[in-house]
Amino acid sequence: MYRQKFGADRWLTKIKREMQVSRMSGKPDILVDLGCGAGRYHSLIPARHVIGLDISRKKLLKAKEEGSKGYLILGSVFNLPFKSGSCEAVLLSEVIEHVDDQKQVLEEVKRIVRPGGSLIISTPSSSFPFLWDPANWLRIRLGIRPRHKKGCTNYTPEHKELYDFNKLASHLQPEFQVEGKIFSGRIITPLLARMWMPFFYARALCNKIGFSSILFNESSVYLW
């Protein structure tokens, strides 16, 4: 799953979340949201009960403040507090790229999902469109290591490793069989990002000199 986090507006972000959870077949009794953060998916998940786990106490408190009705657990994806084969459905959204030992996290996920259960994973793709990050797009095709940076890129400083679909699927098999895939943000998002770049750089400058609250409305639909 390709994603962007710079210059997306709120309705596009909501659509992306709805696209992810809509891939779930049926209505599980319990879904476990690993790395749930502030619980932004919880109101969209078609499950009777939601369990959210995150390593950040601050984000879990934020989830409660924003009205998450999930059962929230402070814990680590490296050592999941669930019995083997006990989880009917698991969501791992925008998590795997942030951890150092991705293999261990995937092994833990494999351990807790019961036979016949469901797993939904989303992550920024290493196979992104040229318009999104032209410099790194060219570096990858020339066999040069991508450069981590802030801004319009999937190679942000906090991302440890990125996958394309085939590489991610190979790490999940044979325990999981891929039932479907979806790619988002491959055309409209890069175009919007390029269109609004002057706005975002102007806002960054105003943040540094202390004029952001005067010149930019914080209720703007554009996310920073």
Domains in the chain, start-ordered, CATH in brackets?
Answer: 10-124+161-185 (3.40.50.150)
Q: What sign does the CA torsion over 138, 140, 142, 147 have?
A: positive
Confidence (pTM): 0.73
- What is the predicted pLDDT for the residue at 118? 86
Q: What sign does the CA torsion over 114, 118, 99, 62 have?
A: negative
What is the tens place of the pLDDT at every residue in 22-43?
Answer: 555 567 888 899 999 888 878 7
- What is the predicted pLDDT for the residue at 3? 33
What is the tens place of the pLDDT at every residue in 161-177?
Answer: 888 888 888 888 888 88
- What is the predicted pLDDT for the residue at 55? 94
- What is the predicted pLDDT for the residue at 209? 65
By C-alpha distance, which of 209, 214, 202, 211 is closest to 224?
A: 202
User: Per-residue b/e over 80-114, b at no fewer than 16 CB within 10 Å?
Assistant: bebeeeebbbbbbbbbbbbbeebeebbebbbebbe
User: What distance, in Å, lies between the first and last C-alpha atoms of the chain?
Assistant: 21
Q: Which regions in the chain score pLDDT beneath 50?
A: 1-15, 212-224
